[in-house]
Amino acid sequence: MKGGFFITGTDTGVGKTWTTVALMRHLQKQGRSVLGMKPVAAGCTLNDGQWQNADALLLQENGSLTVDYRCINPYALRDPVSPHIAAAQADCNVQLEEILRNFYHLRSLVDMVLVEGAGGWLAPLNDHQDIADLAAVLELPVILVVAIRLGCINHARLSYRAILAASQPCAGWIAVCSEPNMLVRDENIATIRRALDAPLLGVLPYTHYPDFNFLSKRLKLDVA
Ligand SMILES: Nc1ncnc2c1ncn2[C@@H]1O[C@H](COP(=O)(O)OP(=O)(O)OP(=O)(O)O)[C@@H](O)[C@H]1O
Ligand SMILES: [Mg+2]
């Protein structure tokens, strides 16, 4: 079965990349070939004459096959700012058709492609399109990553409503416990669980380093 998921989050820095790699591991352990894609990345360094982003490199490294960097990250924007501003500064226009072309190529190679968004669900990509529009053209079910920290209930409810408003199927949400001393953490997770009409696919515990094997065992995603 050819498919994939679109990984969005309640904000930037909530754990989308770590979660995407953990999901890739989880699916690979089920016997599926998987690639990760970060179509638009803001915040890149110049490596051997090519702008590259740390998230995209991590996704490339963890794929089931070695694929060309540019296919995983067609838009590598230098400055770590909102993608539409980073693109404008680089005199570049993010085009969904170009992302779709690369996505189809990746999907022809493997069973599943996991696509990480940039920022949150409504982060703009250009003057008239945002991450929600990207998820729509990719036609992928959405997974919402929620960093369990103060304010997360509001952010999770807002993001979930916006996903539903876009008529995008939501495959579920994942709680990322990136704050080791978060007060009433379990109560926050329970509240979000009641508020969202989508399954909780896993609670990723705090880890001192990115232990993707360990994190992948905390996920439950059954793909038909
Ligand atoms: N399970 C975890 N345990 C501990 N820390 C975590 C965990 N998951 C994420 N983090 C912390 O949160 C940081 C941000 O995670 P990550 O890079 O996955 O976020 P992101 O949503 O992909 O960010 P961006 O918006 O920049 O793409 C990590 O560098 C790490 O410090
Ligand atoms: Mg990321």
Residue by residue, DSSP assigns the chain as --EEEEEEESSTTSSHHHHHHHHHHHHHHTT--EEEE-SEEES-EEETTEEE-HHHHHHHHTSSS---HHHH-SEEESSSS-HHHHHHHTT----HHHHHHHHHHHHHHSSEEEEE-SSSTT-BSSSS-BHHHHHHHHT--EEEEEE-STTHHHHHHHHHHHHHHTT--EEEEEEE---TT-TTHHHHHHHHHHH-SS-EEEEEPP-SS--HHHHHTTB-----
Binding site membership of 178 for ligand 1 (Cβ less than 6 Å): yes
pLDDT, position 2 = 66
Binding site membership of 206 for ligand 1 (Cβ less than 6 Å): yes
pLDDT confidence band for 224 (50 / 70 / 90): confident
Binding site membership of 8 for ligand 1 (Cβ less than 6 Å): no
pLDDT, position 30 = 95
pLDDT over 70 at 1, yes or no: no
- Ligand 2 center to 118 CA (angstroms): 7
> What percentage of residues in the chain have a pLDDT greater than 70?
99
pLDDT confidence band for 223 (50 / 70 / 90): confident
Average pLDDT of the chain is 97
Binding site membership of 82 for ligand 1 (Cβ less than 6 Å): no
CATH numbers and ranges of domains, the chain = 3-38+96-216 (3.40.50.300)
Q: Which atom of ligand 1 is nearest to the CA of 12?
A: 25
Work out the average pLDDT over 140-162.
98
**Atom 16 of ligand 1, residue of closest alpha carbon:** 15
- Ligand 1 center to 13 CA (angstroms): 5
**Atom 9 of ligand 1, residue of closest alpha carbon:** 15
Which mutation among 8, 10, 17, 122 tests ligand 1's pocket best, with the greatest number of atoms within 8 A of CB? 17
pLDDT confidence band for 215 (50 / 70 / 90): very high
Summarised one tens digit per residue, pLDDT across range 49-89 is 999 999 999 999 999 999 999 999 999 999 999 999 999 99
pLDDT, position 222 = 82
**Atom 26 of ligand 1, residue of closest alpha carbon:** 13
Summarised one tens digit per residue, pLDDT across range 89-107 is 999 999 999 999 999 999 9
